[in-house]
Chain A
């Protein structure tokens, strides 16, 4: 329900002349699409961890920066980007594609 709420707020802000960008989790991507939100960044995270798991500072910053970036790149309503993260999802975890020492 929270994702629908954010959808209503996003549309109201834009109606009032305020640019906005919303961050959704993958489970509710279809809600953003159906509501034709101005700009949406979709993250590969579990419910209640929209920006990333607790303590995952690099991931949270990556998501935040990517979302704000849509304010510069989006040119039409309904813009939706699914984030392919490059930073670790956990504190101290390897980045996607990053190998540990000695790993083939």
Chain B
């Protein structure tokens, strides 16, 4: 216990929607005390190196490695087999629909009525109990008109460039170059932090039927 009466465990957990909430480093809550201390030690060593070398990659790689380690837990959902449908045409003839779970929506069509990122993070438990809402994104929407809000991950990168989680400009480039046949007239965004049972049992099957009814060819799904 330190001088403020806080244990190292409490310190680690404070990054996970606590007093030091930081969605980049919320994985600290998943580490043991020993691993958490080792991560911080290594991070400080790498930062010390960067001051001399300017080689920032080592810091990013360290955080990446520990993020992978922290989330390596037995998955809750496990299936021995899965559905599979082969496309009936080559990629250059397919029309691609983009579906992103990163909380992307069109600026003037906010599904949560102007909720701030901070408000969303404070309601993470409610998000996880509710079914997700699907945002429709017209295919001609400029990427600059897209907004991002999500209670489960650090959105600063996506707010700097939505293509980090919703590659609409990359898809447009591939379509312009003839690598894919075209893009759908509507794309979709939702917040993946949601009731998994409702999503699996009701929402996702309904969305799938809606997309089939709209004549969608193939979907590119992006997790965050």
Which residues of A are at the interface with B, using a C-beta cutoff of 8 A? 1-28, 30-31, 34-38, 44-57, 60-61, 63-65, 67-69, 71-72, 74-78
Mask, B59-80, CB within 8 Å of A = 1, is: 0100110011011100111111
A20 B221 Cβ-Cβ under 8 A: yes
Q: Is the CB of A38 within 8 A of B83?
A: yes
Of B79, B87, B157, B204, which is within 8 A of A54 by CB?
Answer: B157
Contact-residue bracket for chain B: 35 or more
B87 partner residues in chain A, CB cutoff 8 A? 19, 71-72
1/0 per residue, CB under 8 A from A, across B181-224: the answer is 00000000011111010011000110111011000111111111
Please tell me if the beta carbons of B68 and A38 are within 8 angstroms of each other in the complex.
no
Given the complex of chains A and B, what is the CA–CA distance between A54 and B81 in angstroms?
A: 36
Inter-chain contact count A-B, CB under 8 Å?
247
Chain B interface (Cβ < 8 Å from any Cβ of A): 23-24, 60, 63-64, 67-68, 70-72, 75-87, 90-91, 94, 96, 99, 101-102, 128, 132, 150, 152-158, 160-161, 163-165, 167, 169-171, 173-174, 179-180, 190-194, 196, 199-200, 204-205, 207-209, 211-212, 216-224
CA separation between A12 and B77, bound complex, in Å? Answer: 14
Distance (whole angstroms) from the CB of A32 to the closest CB of chain B: 9
Compute how far the CA of A91 lies from the CA of B139 in the bound complex, rounded to whole angstroms. Answer: 26
Contact of A18 among B80, B170, B180, B216 (CB under 8 A): B216
Q: Identify 5 new A-B residue pairs, CB closer than 8 A, beyond the known A35-B78, A48-B154.
A: A12-B204, A12-B208, A44-B64, A48-B153, A64-B174
Q: How far is the CB of B1 from chain A (nearest CB, A)?
A: 31
Instruction: Report yes or no: B223 in contact with A25, Cβ–Cβ below 8 A.
Output: yes
